[in-house]
């Protein structure tokens, strides 16, 4: 398990560095043609390759980080029960969207995100739905555990809140990826919401609800009593990906785009941090685990005790 944690941390660091490198390339290097021309031929080739494949790299590292995290903390069954619906259903939604305009509006992917499935959707896009989607859902479900509601209500709340977090990320992602000088996709017609169609937002929310609902059916109603430490990776992944889109949006677009950025903070960043904070503190989680282990050890011996011995133990306790 320690080896998995080490690999997971390296993947998270690589994911972060890849996003930082992408930011530097998009905001500093590409606009500076003199800098690129001053590079030796090998440097120009390396830079061109890295910019062409950087999007693929950061998404693969993000997906691998969350896959290792899910396997380590949730187990094989829950990991696959979330990953498969999120990848397959989001791919179906994207293929439908790029073919018919439903549910996101009429749009199409450009180059830079890898091989396109059916010539329409880069293979990396469903992976991004998976890794950010799982981060959102785990934060929502674990953060709601302490609220005194029926278990089914907490599960439904986690689906709704997780989908809101996912959609809030799109408030900065879509402008950054479709309206800046170096886009990765484009809408056929600019929408009324800062260049995005309103149905793009409803499509994001609806897609999240669908695959989180399917995953929830496989997960069941068992509580997800994670400590803050156990939620650090999902929170870090969410905040890092928000920062990537937000920095590009604010730096490359005009001041109007501070509004969707602020909405993303209000509906995404703030709730994500609050959910992380309201989760079980590390000390409480350790104490709960110790109580469970102690109970499981003492239970067999209690069955063999005589009434007198049991009374004696009761008096001592």
The pLDDT tens digits for 84-135 are: 999 999 999 999 999 999 999 999 999 999 999 999 999 999 999 999 999 9
Residue 50 lies in a domain: no
Check whether residue 91 and residue 190 sit in a common domain: yes
Q: At what angle do helices 198-219 and 151-178 cross, to 10 degrees?
A: 140
User: At residue 317, does pLDDT exceed 90?
Assistant: no
Residue of 215, 242, 228 lying closest to 137 (CA atoms): 215
Residue 247 confidence class, pLDDT cut points 50, 70, 90: very high
Instruction: Quote the pLDDT of residue 302.
Output: 44
Q: Which residues contact 18 (CB under 8 A, 6 or more apart)?
A: 54, 57, 58, 61
What is the pLDDT averaged over residues 57-65?
A: 97
- The boundaries of the domain holding residue 303 are 286-317
Domain total of the chain: 2
Instruction: Supply the pLDDT for residue 1.
Output: 78
268 contacts 169 by C-beta, under 8 angstroms: yes
- The verdict on 190 and 94 lying in the same domain is yes
Domain contains 46: no
Please give the pLDDT value at position 283.
Answer: 62
What lies within 8 Å, CB to CB, of 289 at 6+ separation is none
Is residue 222 located within the same domain as residue 315? no
- Counting residues of the chain whose pLDDT is more than 90, the rounded percentage is 72
C-alpha 158/C-alpha 212 separation (Å) is 9
* Residues 141 and 237 occupy one common structural domain: yes
Strand partners, 195: 191
Whether 219 and 303 share a structural domain: no
In the structure encoding, which two tokens stand for residue 158, read together?
């986690």
Q: In the structure, what pLDDT confidence band is assigned to residue 53 with cuts at 50, 70 and 90?
A: confident
Q: How far apart, in whole angstroms, are the C-alpha atoms of residue 230 and residue 118?
A: 38
Of the given ranges (37-46, 53-62, 71-80, 291-300), which has the lowest mean pLDDT?
291-300
pLDDT at 143 over 90: yes
Spatial CB neighbours of 149, under 8 Å, sequence gap ≥ 6: 157
């Amino acid at each position: 398990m320690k080896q998995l944690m080490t690999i997971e941390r390296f993947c998270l660091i690589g994911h972060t560095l890849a996003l930082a490198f992408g930011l530097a390339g998009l905001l500093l290097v590409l606009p500076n043609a003199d800098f690129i021309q001053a590079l030796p031929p090998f440097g120009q080739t390396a830079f061109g390759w890295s910019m062409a494949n950087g999007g693929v790299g950061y998404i693969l590292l993000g997906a691998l980080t969350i896959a290792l995290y899910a396997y380590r903390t949730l187990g094989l069954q829950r990991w696959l029960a979330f990953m498969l619906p999120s990848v397959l259903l989001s791919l179906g939604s994207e293929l439908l969207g790029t073919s018919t305009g439903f549910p996101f509006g009429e749009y199409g992917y450009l180059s830079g995100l890898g091989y396109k499935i059916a010539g329409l959707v880069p293979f990396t896009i469903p992976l991004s739905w998976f890794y950010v989607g799982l981060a959102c859902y785990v934060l929502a479900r674990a953060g709601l555990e302490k609220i005194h509601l029926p278990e089914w209500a907490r599960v439904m709340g986690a689906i709704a809140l997780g989908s809101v977090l996912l959609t809030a990320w799109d408030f900065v992602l879509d402008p950054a990826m479709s309206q800046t000088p170096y886009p990765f996709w484009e809408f056929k017609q600019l929408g009324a919401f800062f260049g995005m169609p309103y149905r793009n937002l409803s499509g994001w929310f609806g897609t999240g609800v669908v695959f989180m609902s399917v995953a929830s059916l496989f997960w069941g109603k068992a509580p997800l009593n994670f400590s803050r430490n156990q939620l650090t990776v999902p929170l870090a992944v969410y905040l890092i990906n928000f920062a990537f889109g937000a920095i590009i949006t604010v730096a490359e677009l005009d001041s109007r785009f501070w509004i969707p950025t602020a909405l993303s903070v209000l509906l995404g960043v703030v709730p994500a941090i609050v959910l992380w904070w309201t989760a079980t503190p590390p000390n409480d989680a350790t104490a709960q685990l110790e109580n469970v282990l102690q109970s499981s050890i003492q239970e067999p011996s209690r069955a063999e005790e005589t009434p007198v011995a049991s009374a004696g133990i009761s008096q001592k306790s």
